[in-house]
Each structure stands twice: as C-alpha cells, then as structure tokens.
Structure 1
Amino acid sequence: MLILHNISYLHPSKNLLFAGINLNINNHDKVALIGNNGSGKSTLLKIIGGELEFSSGQLHLNSKIYHISQIYGQYDELSVAQALKIEDKLNALKNILNGNVTEENLTLLDDDWTIEERCAEALQYWDLKLELTQKMSTLSGGQKTKVMLAGISIHQPDLVLMDEPSNHLDAAGRELLYHFIRTTSASLLIVSHDRKLLNLVNTICELQKDGITIYGGNYDFYSEQKIIENNVLNNDIRAKEKELRKAREKEREVMERKQKLDARGKKKQEKSGVARIVLNTLKNNAENSTSKIKGVHSEKIGEISQNLKELRFSLPAIDKIKMGFTDSPLHKGKILFSAKSINFSYDDHLIWKANLNFEILSGERIAIKGSNGSGKTALVKIILGKLEATLGTVYHADKKSIYIDQDYSLIDNSLSVYLQAQQFNTSGLQEHDIKTKLNSFLFTREDWNKPCNALSGGERMRLLLCCLTIDNQPPDLIVLDEPTNNLDIQNIEILINAINQYQGTLLVISHDNSFLEQINAGTILSLD
C-alpha cells in the first residue's frame, strides 16, 4: 500500500529535517507516528499526501489517500462542502436529478449516486447538526475537526493520514474517534500525543532526524521498551563514568610514579658528578617522556569523556531537567474560592442548566469537564475574578493565581528567552543564576538570545515552567486550560513531572483522561 525508502527532506533553507526514513504500511495497518516537536511528523504526512516534495529517496503509493491536517484556518472562507471537496459532485447530482443530464455533470458525479446519503450518515455519526452550505468560519475547533473526520466516510479512502485528530475534540467527540479507529477497515497513519488513542494502534513509529524506529505494539508496549532502553542507557552512563574515574586515577598514579622516579634519578646523577650539559639532556628527555605519557592518558580520557557526553545527550529530556518548584505558603484545606448557586448569562441565556455550588480548597487538584460550549472558560474567568457571575454569590480568598492556556500566552513574543526569564526574577538573581536555571530547562547558550516567537509549543511550556521556578513567590493556584494540546509526548511527560512536584492548588481543563490521571486530578467538576 505505502512504501517509503530512504526518504530525506531539506527545508528551503537547506537545513536537513530528516533522512533515511523507511516505512511500510499494509492493508488494515493502524500505525502511530510519534516524535519530538520539530522532528518533522507533519512534514512527513504532507510528503505522503503529495503536498510536499521530498529531497531524495523513493515513495510508492498505490492506494486512495485522505489527509486530515491539524490546522483548519485555511478553510474558513469555504463552505463545509467546499472544504470536503464535494461541492461540485453534489451540484452535479442535483442538476442531474433536476433533468440537466449533461456530459459535464455526469463526469463530475462519476457514478457516485450515494454521495448525499454518505454525507448525511457521516455528519450524523460525528454528531454534526449543520448544513453543507454553512461556512467553516462559523464552526468551533471541535466541529471543524469533526467535519474533516466525516470526510473519511464520504471519500472512503484506503489510507487515512491524521495529524493530532483529537486536539479540539471534547470527551464525547474523542469517544467517537476512538470507536472509529477501533472499527475501521481503512489503514491509518496517525500523528498524536493522545495516549488513549495511541493504545488503539498496533504499531508505534518513533521519528528522529536519522530515521524511524518501529515498535510492534501499542503505546503501552512502546513505553515498556523505552524504559528498558533507558535503563540500559543509564547503566552505560554509569559504567562510562566509572571508566572515566579510573582513567583519571590511573593518569594521576602514573604521573606521580614518574615524578618520583625522575626526582630520584636526578639526585643520584647529581651525587655521581655528571656534567651539567649531560644533566640538561637527561632533564629534557625526562620532560619529553612525561609529556608523552600525559598525552597518551589525556587522549584516552578525552575519548571516554566524549563517549560519556554522547550518552548523556541521548538521555530523555525529562531526565535532564531539574524543576525546583517552591511550595505555596498557604496551608492545606484553606478555602480559596466558593460559589453558591452561581450562573452566568450569555446573550440573555443562562449557560448552565443548574446553578453551580462548589468550593476550591488549597492543595486540591480539580478537573473541570464539559463538552465544547458548556461554559468551562466562563467558569474559569469567574474563579479568577475576571468575570462576575450573573446569579449567586462567590467568595475569593487573597491568593496569587496564574492562568496558563494551550498556547502558553504568558510568554511575551517580543522578548528573548533570557529577557523573558528575567521578567520573573523577583528575588534579584544574578545573570549567571538565571542562565543556570535556563540551562537546567534545556535552554543552552545558543538559545538565550532566541526570540520567544521562534519557540515551539514544548519550548514555550518549558520556558514558562523555568520562569515559575525563578519567581520567589510561587502561585497558590495554577489554572491549566488544555495544556497538552500543542505538546509532543516528551514535553507532556515534562509537564506532568513538573505538576506533580508543585504543591499548590491546581485547576485543569482537559479532555485528556490519561493526563488527568497522571497528575492525580481526583476532584471532578462537571458542567454537562
């Protein structure tokens, strides 16, 4: 069905994105493509979909293909039918049924007499109550995703390419997607960080700059294999560190022995009355010998050090990052917010069917759940004091809160990485202290002057976490609004690790149940 052989891709700037890509996808295969942000996952899907030209290699594809990208803004000026590329066919069918049986209409229809029925069935499956003539710009992110997913049943491809298909879907939409993946007979190649979705496939492919590593199982199997690989890597690092210590000790012992022998020989020669010119010659010979011995050991130590550096570079990012969050000063159980019979009016309509009653206590981890349009964002704004409830009463304790959205918009795009970190320097840290903090979050010397608008989603997340550790006044309440949407798996793990070290209060909007479980969000506030 699909064969990639030694595919490489160069950016227009001539920078190599990846090379040596080999991949086979057969009928009914369900494959997930994972990798760090910037590794080229979306680019590879575009190459397979024929939207980009690869630089070298071979691509063989003998199947009908359908590509769902993760960005839909390019469709905003189109109708649903136009975005799905079925408008001409639907118009041709309508014309034929109205008696306008022309060669042009028959060619456009291409004997696809069931196109209307498939459209209706597809929209119904994805719970879309809309007209095909409706503008895409009028739809929410989740609805746009569902429209493109509906195109699978409409076009009936053999191979479906999906790029982060669950990103904008609510819990109900995700369940429909999971059911589709489990039951479809089409072959699938999916880019995703959704762990529940990744456990529905039968192959995980990890994309790196120098090729693809294939794991013959779902995400849980992949995780187990990565743990084994990382354990081996850590053992290799420890062994190499031991080898380096021994090599340095050996160098010191040899040099000390050589210096003692040289000193003893010098005294003996001086007592025996050897001529000064001969002594100088012997001294030069000894120095040359010492230099040669030192050079041999230095070369060996340098080689071991380089090997150790390469092994450490191979460590997952989560093993390199040092978080260092300061605890919130508020005692556990303090009431931070309370709501009594609150509701909010939008366009003269109350958005919640029943008034809300709840409390937020210091130290709690709360997940706010609800379908798209259920009022999650409005509730968060009320909790943060940015909106007033239309009905009911609220109580706000004196607290420091921070709101983090999926784009990590607290990062100022006009600043460099270093200057952004400096904005959070409330305790007067010196420049080298700030840079040490940045380095501990994987921002090296080459990154310090990089503009924040050039950072990926994962880099923005890491920079914001770094900034929070620099601030000597930690937030009492952190609100996370779909924080994993623009992150790869590695950066999600970094975020989970950071959250689990944070001792303050956490409020999370997320449709990712695996993420909520891993951060121990035990209290659920449902708006449905």
Structure 2
Amino acid sequence: MSVPLSASSSVTLSALTYEHPDGTRVFDGLDATFTIGRTGLVGRNGSGKSTLLQLISGQLTPARGSVTTSGHVAYLPQDITLDPAVSVATVLGIDAVRTALRRIESGDGTGDDFDTVGDRWDVEERALATMHRLGLDRILHDENDFDRTVGTLSGGETVLLGLTARLLAEPGVLLLDEPTNNLDTAARERLQDALDRFPGTVIVAGHDRDLLDRMDTIAELRDGSLRMFGGGFSDYEQIIEAEQEAAQAAVRDARSDVRRQARELSAAHVALDRRARYGKKMFENKREPKIIMNMRKRQAQESAGKYRREHEGNLESARAQLDRAQDAVRNDREIRVDLPDTSVHPGRRVADGPLEIVGPERIAVRGPNGSGKTTLLGRIVDAGPLVPYALLPQRLDIFDDTASVVANAELRAPHLPPQEVRARLARFLFRGTDADVPVGVLSGGERLRAALAILLAADPAPQLLILDEPTNNLDLPSLAHLTQALQAFEGALVVVSHDERFLDEIGVTRSVVPGDAGAPEECARLDG
C-alpha cells in the first residue's frame, strides 16, 4: 500500500450546522480539527456520528458552515451494501484498468487504454497485496479471481473488500463507520494493523473498545457538541469517570445548600410573623404617638421585605446552582429489558436438525468469516424449532422500512393491546412519538435496538433466541444492558458473534464451528 504521506492531511469543521429533512437539528455551529493520526468518534446511538462522517465525505451538505479537507477522502459506510452480481474488480475500482491492461498485453491496446492505465501497471499486484494483508486470501488466490461476484462473500469479507477499495484509492483522509462489524478476531487484528500503518488522517466511528483503545484521540459527540480527549478509549473513560464523580459530589453539595437555604427561609418567615404580631400589638396599645408608630410600621415592613427577599434570593441561587450541577451529570437513557417468562426446562428439546438444542443452552457459533455461521442459523430456522423463537438477522431486514416502529411491532404481536405493545417498546427507549418514527430513518444503532424491541415484544414470547452479530452498531451502555438482559434470559440462545467479551459475559455453555465443508450437519462440537 503506497499511501502518500501529506503533512497537510486534515479535516476542519467551521461553524458546521446540519438539520435532518424533517427539521431536526443535529449540529449547530460545530468547530473541530482532525489532523494526522487516528481519532475514535464515539457517542450514543443517534448522536450524529454517521451524519458527521457523511458531511465530511461530502455525501451530505451542511445547512451552514463548512467542511474543509486536505487530501483525498475515502469513506467506508456503516452498512456497506453491494450488488451481489457485481465483481470483486468492480468493487475495487480496477475493472476498467484490468480490461485496458488485457488489451495492451494482447497487442490490441489503443491510446485510450494507455490513458486508462496511466501509472497503474501494478494495480492487480497492489490489490492482491492489500487483500492479503487484510486476510482476504481465501477469496482471491490470483488475478483470475477478481471476476468472482460479491454474492459469494460473507458479510465480514464484504466489509474487508470495501476497505481494500478505499485503501487502493490512496486517500489522505480515511473515514470508517463501525468497520469491525461482522469481522472475526483475526480480521479485526488485520484491520487494526492497517490503521496503525496508515500515515494520514483516520476517523473511526464505533463502539469496539479494543479498536478505540488503539486511537490517538477520542472525539465525543454529545448533545450536538464535539469534545476532544487525548489518548485511547480507556483514557477517555477515566476522565469521564473522574468528572462524573466530581459532578455527583457537586450535586450533593448543591442539594444540601438548597435544603439549608429552605430552612433559613422558613425560619425567616417565622421571625417575621413574630415581629409582625408584636408590632401590631404595640400599635393597638398606642404606647407611642401615632406618627411615630406609623413610621416604625413602615420601617418594619421595609426591613421585613428586604429580609424576606434576601432569603428568597439565596434559595433561588441555591436552586440554580443545583440545576447547573445536575446538568453536568450524565443521565444517559439506557435500555431496560424485562424479558417475558421464557424459561425452558433443562430436559426439553428445543430444536433438532442441523443443531440439536436441549434445555436453556447458550450456544456460540464461532468460526472465521465465510465459514458458514449465518448459513447454519438459516438451517436451524428451516428445520423448524420446537418452541417459539425469534431470529435477529445480520442485515436487520425484518422491517417494513416505510412503517413506524410501533406498526412493525404490532404485526408481530397482533393479539396484544396497543398500549401493551407500546409499553414493551418503551423498555427499548421507543417512548411516545419515538415509537411513531418510520424505521427507514433510524440510525444503525437505533435500527438494531428497534429490531431487538420488536422481536422481544412478540406474542408469543420467544423461548429460543437466534442472534446473528447482535452487538453490531450497539453503543456501549446499550451493549451492557443487552448483556444483562441475555444473562437474565431463561430460554435457549444461539448467537453468532466475534465479540469474545460479550460471549463470555452472557455465559456461553458450548460452542460449535461449522465444518470445513461448510455443511451445518458437520459442525464440530467444542467445550463451552
């Protein structure tokens, strides 16, 4: 990979403002600079990470402000979708060059062919070398395999192929949106190595902790603002944790001050009432001339008013300080999953066919990209599980994108009252009008959250969950709560995932690996 190192490779955001077509404002006056090095872009699902990358890449146009880039920009989207009939060479952008090279080599080349090739005489060798570094040896052994179609590749191989195409374009700025989705452990390591070697400006949006820990800088998108933190994700977490401890302490102090000021105001009212009763008694007894009594009364009233306003002002200031202190505390919304009664008796047979499942087993389907993991899940479904089940596919193609979240959920729970469907969706943060949003406008993470919500809100409730890469696009707080939900799930679970930490935390009881021939019936059993 011969990427030219440019000292001026950078991205500058100036007063960047962007609104969705429905008028929802995402950014308002965003200023930031990304220079040579690796920056991890983090934030809650829906915070605007993908939108920001699309603005930088030029796919979206800001309402106001500007994006200035130095060096060619290459962008790998979150959910790369390719025509399955397209060739590998077409995806890599080398199809025309290869065709021209063949004509030149056969002696039939024209001036146009030489112009097409330019200085890219070694384009096939460079493509093979880059693919080799990214672990795509299995799909491409020589230049003849450039003609194979994308439809023969796995999801992870498609992501790596897309990355290869971007690297071959020799960009100065590389934008990656959730690049480790669907990648096995070996592929993730190769991707990390490629980013370590990349000499330009890299911005990676994602929730992969291991990848984010390799970053030089973390940029956090929150409430439409962008904040930079030096170091990797662990350093960022330590800073946020320290800030939150200080913020919580400030809230406690502010609440204590509000209580104290409220007590003092109450005591002031008691003192003023006592003084008013004494003054009234003195006035009624007329122990002094009337003009003096009236003067004293006015002075007392003025003094009382000033005294009252002082204490009321102190209380108001204390409450304002409490509001400011609470604003500094992160109150991130989190998924709260109360799964319905889905318990499976230990001896009950849950599924036969390509994979025998008995009782509340937790089965991890492991294996490299392209080994047949998703195919195995399809065979389990085709064989017909013996209990109610739910399948979360890798591509999340379970929706009517034009319909709302709640409308999609009601289709899977036709016998539940509408208010119960909405209550179940609310546990996944689709509350009120959020549940009425068309699925097609959701971000990647929101789409996954909607898929989980709709599957688990189904009636009857699933006793077997079949999950294909469920952690893709899920932000870290939501991932933690998904993990807790699955830990509490009492049914059977089959999950494809390359996230070893996630698999450990949900308590996998055994693992299967599709056989070398790719036939699910030939799964090799491993101890969990």
Alignment of 1:187-202 (within 5 A): 187-202=201-216
Change (3 A) 1:237 1:365: farther
Secondary structure at 1:112 match in 2: coil
- Alignment CA distance shift 1:224-1:504 (3 Å): farther
Q: Which residue of 2 aligns with 1:121?
A: 129
Deviation track 1:225-273 (CA, whole Å, cap 9, x = no partner) reads: 3322332232233333333333333333333333343344444544559
Task: Report the alpha carbon displacement of residue 157 of structure 1 after superposing the two structures with TM.
Answer: 3.7
C-alpha contact 1:476 1:504 (8 A) present in aligned 2: yes
Aligned CA distance change for structure 1 residues 33 and 448 (closer, same or farther; 3 Å): closer
Deviations 1:367-399 (A, max 9, x none): 22234554544554666xx4328xxxx9x5xx6
Displacement of 1:23 after TM fit?
2.2
Contact 1:335/1:359 (<8 A) preserved: no
Deviations 1:98-139 (A, max 9, x none): 224543222221122111222333444413237333444554
Q: Show the counterpart of 1:366.
A: 363
Render the CA deviation track for 1:195-233: whole Å, top value 9, x for unaligned.
232233333222335543233322233333332233223
Which residue number corresponds to residue 331 of structure 2?
315
What's 2:95 paired with? 87
Q: How does 1:207-218 map to 2 (within 5 A)?
A: 207-218=221-232
**Secondary structure at the counterpart of residue 218 of structure 2:** strand
2:269 to 255, 259, 283: 255
**Cα–Cα, structure 1 residues 261 and 223, in superposed 2: closer, same or farther, change >3 Å?**
same
Corresponding residue of 1:479: 466
1:335 partnered with 2:347:
yes
Q: What residue number does 1:351 align with?
A: none
- Give yes or no for contact 2:157–2:370 (8 Å, CA) kept in 1: no
Of 229, 233, 239, the match for 1:225? 239
- Contact between 2:258 and 2:315, CA under 8 Å: does it hold in 1? no
SS at match of 1:491: helix
> TM-score, normalized by length of structure 1?
0.75
Where 1:168 maps in the other structure, the secondary structure is coil
Using structure 2 for the length normalisation, give the TM-score: 0.75
Measure, in 1, the Cα distance between the counterparts of 2:102 and 2:280: 108
The answer to whether the 8 A contact 1:160-1:188 is kept is yes
On the 8 A contact 1:327/1:503 being kept in 2, the answer is no
> Closer, same or farther in 2 for the Cα pair 1:450/1:43, shift >3 Å?
closer
Name the SS of the counterpart of 1:335 in structure 2: coil
2:41 to 33, 47, 64: 33
User: Which of 373, 378, 383 lines up with 1:388 in the alignment?
Assistant: 383
1: CA distance between counterparts of 2:309 and 2:192? 67
The residue type paired with residue 160 of structure 1 is L
Distance (Å, rounded) in 1 between the aligned partners of 2:485 and 2:196: 33
Structure 1 residues 156 and 293, CA gap change in structure 2 (3 angstroms): closer
Q: Structure 1 pair 423/166, CA: closer, same or farther in 2 (3 Å)?
A: closer
1:2 is displaced (CA, Å) by 0.8
The unaligned stretches of length 5 or more in structure 1 are: 344-355
Once the two structures are overlaid, the 10-residue window that deviates more, 452-461 or 101-110, is 452-461
Contact 2:177 2:205 in 1 (8 A): yes
Q: What is the aligned partner in structure 2 of residue 353 from structure 1?
A: none
Change in 2 beyond 3 A, CA 1:339/1:95: same
Return the match for 1:521 from 508, 511, 514: 508
Amino acid of the structure 2 residue aligned with 1:510: S
Q: CA deviation at 1:8?
A: 0.8
In the other structure, the counterpart of 1:17 is 26
Q: CA deviation at 1:464?
A: 7.0
- How many Å separate the matches in 2 of 1:446 and 1:195? 32
In structure 2, what is the Cα distance between the partners aligned to 1:253 and 1:381? 73
Q: Which residue is 1:4 aligned to?
A: 12
* Cα distance change of structure 1 residues 103 and 422 upon mapping to structure 2, 3 Å threshold: closer
Q: Could you tell me which of 301, 323, 328 is aligned with 1:306?
A: 323
Are residues 46 and 423 of structure 1, via their aligned partners in 2, closer, same or farther at CA, if it must alter by over 3 Å?
Answer: closer
Q: Which amino acid is 1:17 matched to?
A: V
Structure 2 CA distance for aligned equivalents of residues 270 and 424 of structure 1:
77
How far is 1:410 from its partner? 7.8
Deviates more, 1:39-48 or 1:448-457: 448-457
**Contact 2:425–2:457, Cα closer than 8 Å, also in 1:** no
Whole-Å separation in 2 of the counterparts to 1:258 and 1:489: 55
Q: 1:89 to 1:387 in 2, by over 3 A?
A: closer
> 1:447 maps to which residue?
434
**Partner Cα distance (1:74, 1:489) in 2:** 28
Letter aligned with residue 119 of structure 1 = A
Go from structure 1 to structure 2 and tell me whether the alpha carbon gap of 1:460 and 1:85 turns closer, same or farther (over 3 Å shift).
closer
User: Residue 34 of structure 2 aligns to which amino acid in structure 1?
Assistant: N
Question: For residue 346 of structure 1, what is the aligned residue in structure 2?
Answer: none
Q: 1:240: which partner in 2?
A: 254
Shift of 1:4: 1.2
Aligned residues: 492
CA distance in 1, matches of 2:411, 2:315: 40
Is the CA contact (8 Å cut-off) linking 1:79 and 1:135 kept in structure 2? yes
Q: Following TM superposition, by how much is the alpha carbon of 1:465 offset from its aligned partner in structure 2, in angstroms?
A: 6.9
**Of 26, 44, 67, which residue of structure 1 is paired with 2:75?**
67
Q: Secondary structure at the residue paired with 1:204? A: strand
- Following TM superposition, by how much is the alpha carbon of 1:401 offset from its aligned partner in structure 2, in angstroms? 4.3
3-state SS in 1 of match to 2:147: coil
| Shift in Å, 1:80 | 2.9
Distance 1:213 1:135, change over 3 A: same
> What amino acid sits opposite 1:480 in the alignment?
L
Q: 1:405 to 1:204 in 2, by over 3 A?
A: same
Q: Which residue of the partner structure matches residue 51 of structure 2?
A: 43
What is the alpha-carbon root mean square deviation over aligned residues?
A: 4.5
Q: Secondary structure of 1:32's partner?
A: strand
